A and B are shown apart, each in its own frame.
Chain A
C-alpha cells in the first residue's frame, strides 16, 4: 500500500507542477493556456532524448527541457498575443495537438508512436522499485517546493501585480505604462518552462514517453486541479492536484465497495464519480478550496 501511495505522490507532484505553471499564465495573467500537454511533452521528449543520446545527467537534461519548453512558450505567446479568452484557449489547445502529431510522425527523432523507452534515471535498476519511487517522490516534491516558493515570491512582487493588472484590464495596465506584451511573453515562457520541467521529471520517473502519454486527458485533469484548488492561488494549485489524484485513484477502490458490478460498470461509474465530485465542488465552492486572496489597498483620508 505504501509503495502505491508513494508512486501516487509522484504523479500528484507532477500534476502540481503543471498546475503551478498554468496558474502563472491563467491564474495571474488571465490567459487561458490549454497547451500545457504540449509543453509537458516537449519537456519529456527533450529530456528523454538528451538522456538517451547525449547521456546528459538528469539535472542538465531537466534544465535543457525547461529552457526549450520555455522558448516554445515564448514563441506561442508572440503568435497568440492578439488572442483572448476562448480564441486563445482553442489556439493553445491546437498547439498541444500539433506537438502530439509531431511526436507521432517525426519517427527519426521521436521513434513515432512506439515512443522512447528505457530512459535512464539516477538509481533506476540499482535501487529497489520502492526506493526508486521514494527517491522520485522526494525529488519531485523538493523541486515542487522550490518552484512554488519562487512563484509565490514572483506573484507577490511587482511582476505579479502587473500580471494581475493585465488580467483585470489590459488597457489600464497599458495606460499605466506597462509593456503588456513583454509581461505576457514572460509569463508564458516561465509557465511553459515549469511545465517542461514537469515533463522532464515524468520521463525520468516513468522511463517511457509516447505521444499517447500527452493526450488531452492531462490538460483536463490539470485544469480541473487548478479550478478545484483555486485559480490564482499557488497553494490551491498544489492542493487541487493532490485532490484530483486522490479522486482519480481513490475511485479505483469503488469496485470493492460495490460487489456485483461488472468491470465496465465500475470503470464508467468511476469516471462519473470523478465528474460528480468536481461538479459538486464547483457548485458549492466555485472560487476553489483556497481562493486567491486579494489585497485591498485603501487610500487614507
Chain B
C-alpha cells in the first residue's frame, strides 16, 4: 500500500507540530502552569521565579512525581502586562488544561487573570500585594503568599509605636495599595495612642516634590511614612533634608536600595528605617531556594513560588485526584492542619503516601491562609541605614 502525503497535509502536519510537541510529552503528566514576568517591569524577578518553579518540579518528578505521575510545568511570560497575561492564561487553561497557575506577580495581571481561573476552576497562586485581589468573588480559587497591605501596614505601625512616633505623616506614590496602606497604618497608630496627621498621594514620575513636602512639614510631623519607590524616595529624602526636616523616616526596603543610599550623602540617609516581608530564613525550604538559585539572599517572590509548587503537589497528593477543585478543597488541609510539620515537599509527599497528616511550612513562612486566601502571618525584616548601608535591626 502506498501512503501518499499531499503537500497540503504535510503543511497542516508541520503547522500542528508545535502543538503536538507540547501535549505529546508524558501523556499522564499533571499539567501545571506558571505566569511570570519574564520581561517588562517585573523582569528583575520573573526569571528567578521560573527557575525555582522548574527546579522544584524537576526534583518532584525525579523522586516519583505526585500520585505516581510527573508534573508538566509550562511557564508563560506575561511581559508584566495584563492583556498578555490574559492571553497566557487562556493558553494554559484552554490548551494545557492546567490544574493550577502559580506565580502571577503584577497586581494588574493577577486581577485580569483571576476570573478566567475561578470560572474554569483552576487554582491561582499569586505573589501580588494589592488588597483588592482577595476581595474578588473568587470562590476560594485564589491563594496569596504575599502579605497584603493590611498585614504589612499593621506591622509597620507597630514598629513606629515601639519607636515612639506620635505624629506620622504619609507621602505615598500612586499605587494600588497607597490608600489601603495609609488607612490601616492610621488605624493601628490610633490604637497605640499616636496619630496619622495627614497623607498626600503623589505622582511618582515627578522630578520634584517641594509642594508636597511643604504641606507635609507644615503639619509638624515627627515621622514621615514614605510609601515610595526607589527613584522618588531618593528625591524625597534629599528634599526633606534640604527643607530642614530632622525627624524619623520610615519606608519600604524595595525603595531604600543600595543605589539610592549610594547616590545620597550619609548625612541625608542615616537613620532611615525600612522594612520588608521576609522569607523564613531559618526554614530548610529557604535553604533549598538558596541552593537552586546559587545565591545567599533569594528574593521573596522566588521563595513564594517554591511554596506555590509545593502546595499544589501536596494538595493533589492529599486529594488523590489532580484537579483544580481537588487543590481548592485540600490546600488548607496540608498547610495548616494539626499534622506533622514538613518543609520539604518531597518528604511531605512521602508522608501523605503513607497516610499521615502534614502541615507544610515553606520558604516564605508558615503558609496559613484565611478563608479568602490571604496569609495569616509572616516574618518581617526591619533595617536602619548607617553610613550608606542598610543594617538589619531584627527579623520577627
Contacts and interface: CB of A to CB of B under 8 A. Distances in A.
Interface of A: 1-4, 7-8, 11, 101, 104-105, 107, 112-115, 117-118, 129, 206-208, 210-213, 215, 217-218, 248-250, 252-257, 262-264, 266-268, 270-271
Contacts of A266: 75, 77
Contacts of B174: 104-105, 107, 112-113
Contacts of A210: 82, 108, 111-112
B94 A267 contact: no
B39 A115 contact: no
A3 B94 CA distance: 6
A238 B6 CA distance: 30
Given A1-B94, A3-B94, A267-B77, A262 B54 contact: yes
A208 B201 CA distance: 24
A288 B260 CA distance: 48
A213 B175 CA distance: 15
Contact of B47 (A2, A248, A264): A264
A247 to B, nearest CB: 12
Interface string B109-140: 00110011001100000000010100011000
A253 B22 contact: yes
Given A263-B47, A271-B39, A118 B137 contact: yes
B87 A8 contact: yes
Contacts, number: 132
Which of A107, A215, A262, A263 gathers the greatest number of chain B CB atoms within 10 Å?
A263
A253 B19 contact: yes
B161 interface: no
B22 A256 contact: yes
A263 B116 contact: no
Given A3-B94, A208-B111, A264-B38, A252 B88 contact: yes
Most buried by A among B106, B115, B178, B179: B115
A262 B108 contact: no
Interface of B: 17-19, 21-22, 25, 34, 36, 38-39, 46-47, 50-51, 54, 74-77, 79-84, 86-88, 90-91, 93-95, 106-108, 111-112, 115-116, 119-120, 130, 132, 136-137, 174-176, 178-179, 201, 203, 205
Nearest to B22: A256
A114 B82 contact: no
B178 to A, nearest CB: 8
Given A105-B174, A113-B174, A252 B91 contact: yes
A114 B137 contact: no
Contacts of A262: 47, 50-51, 54
What is the predominant secondary structure among interface residues of chain A facing chain B? helix
Given A212-B81, A257-B17, A113 B91 contact: no
A253 B47 contact: no
A199 to B, nearest CB: 12
A250 B21 CA distance: 13
Q: Which of B17, B50, B83, B175 has the most CB of A within 10 A?
A: B83
Given A256-B21, A262-B54, A270-B77, A249 B91 contact: yes
A248 B93 CA distance: 18
A35 B46 CA distance: 30
Contact of A4 (B82, B90, B201): B90
A37 to B, nearest CB: 11
Contacts of B84: 217
A164 to B, nearest CB: 33
Contacts of A113: 107-108, 174-176
B112 A255 contact: no
B91 A4 contact: yes
Contacts of B88: 252
Contacts of A208: 82, 111-112, 115
A115 B75 contact: no
Contact of B87 (A105, A118, A249, A271): A249
Given A113-B108, A208-B111, 17 more contacts: A1-B94, A2-B94, A8-B90, A104-B174, A107-B174, A107-B179, A113-B107, A114-B111, A129-B120, A208-B82, A210-B108, A249-B87, A250-B18, A252-B88, A256-B25, A262-B51, A263-B36
A129 B81 contact: no
Contact of B90 (A3, A115, A213, A257): A3
Contacts of A206: 83, 86, 112
Contacts of A263: 34, 36, 38, 47, 50-51, 54, 75, 77
A264 B38 CA distance: 6
Contact of B108 (A4, A7, A213): A213
Given A206-B112, A253-B21, A253-B22, A105 B38 contact: no
Interface centre among A212, A255, A257, A266 (most CB of B within 10 A): A212
Contacts of B46: 264
Nearest to B74: A255
B107 A114 contact: yes
Nearest to A114: B176
A208 B50 CA distance: 26
A212 B106 contact: yes
Contacts of B19: 1, 253, 256
A107 B180 CA distance: 13
A270 B116 CA distance: 24
A133 B366 CA distance: 39
